[in-house]
Structure 1
């Protein structure tokens, strides 16, 4: 049995570990990473880095490598690769699951401003604040490049490339983050508005709690849709359980055994 996992997310790494433990001798798991992040945290099992050449290239890879199941565990905002995965799985007649952790939900005291895109976030920002904590990653900063009256603190794992806002400080850091750390960052940089994508998960959620405590508005970019007809699971454990049903039983290894 051969399972291909798309994505370098925390959930994807957790899933790869569970699958490696569940599959038997002669079976294997391949994790495919996009290669956009230097020095990524590698998951258990086999790893490949780089694109496939679109949906047709991915379908050819599924056939050539005799893949029995495909799991799209990419970032909720990866977008294009999810539609390529759906088309390739249909073409190669391979079952497909999408692993998507639950999105964030506003609570009491939150001042959230949902928008459909980064461009939408840029449109509403001038009315909300002047010092922006931008936590949308290093890609897509061009959407904010024309906001010369605002100051930005942009946090990302790697340094961004232009175009980006003229008045911008870059903070290179990788989660998980803490509420104390986010609270101090907001205070030190005098942040008055936060911009985030609805990535979900606990690793980057502390900024939301810190913003709530400071009574700051938060611009939340909504997720793009999962391709129609693709089955979605919320956790790596659910993905493994669903694969058992789809593929007739992953063979569990004895605890602690090889």
Structure 2
């Protein structure tokens, strides 16, 4: 998957505007996909299925709403399939029956190879996130990482709040493992001194730990502040170990 594709992962609705590049990348169909689309009994069904296949390829999620379909996409779908595009109202009417919507979503999953996450895959994602957390603890970046992993694994992308639950679980695993490693290699009395040092108040009223964990202010120099915090943490650790 190309890095630029990451921007689209997890979208819940169609973009209001779609470029020619996006049409060619996501809403252009293989021979197998065309055969599946053309097997539908009406033009509305053909367009509907084509829309679902393209959206799933674009975002890694199922399309649950057809409130907005850009005109350029409408024309492109008609040209791709070789039919005259129906009115949007006709497509809405098509999905009044929930069964038709479900059928098109399932067919899109089948032809592209996507499926819902299993419990085994959920645990695998948490393990993968735990390894990634050791390199990057930024939750937003971890969210993007998880979406990419899910898409590449052909697993339907979860809601953001569900992914954040998995990110929290991965962070918890890393913290637990780190705590065990520290406890096994540091004397108990030294641990007590470190805890006391981290709980000590700074002049601004924050504890040392809260300050070290806090994100940089909007106008601060991120790199300089990071170096300052690392230096300070080393000084605190050295003093507590003495």
TM-score by length of 1: 0.25
The structure where strand makes up a greater share of residues is 1
More helix by share: 2
TM-score normalised by length of structure 2 = 0.27
- The structure with the largest alpha-carbon Rg is 2
Question: With CA pairs under 8 Å and 6+ residues apart, which has the higher RCO, 1 or 2?
Answer: 1
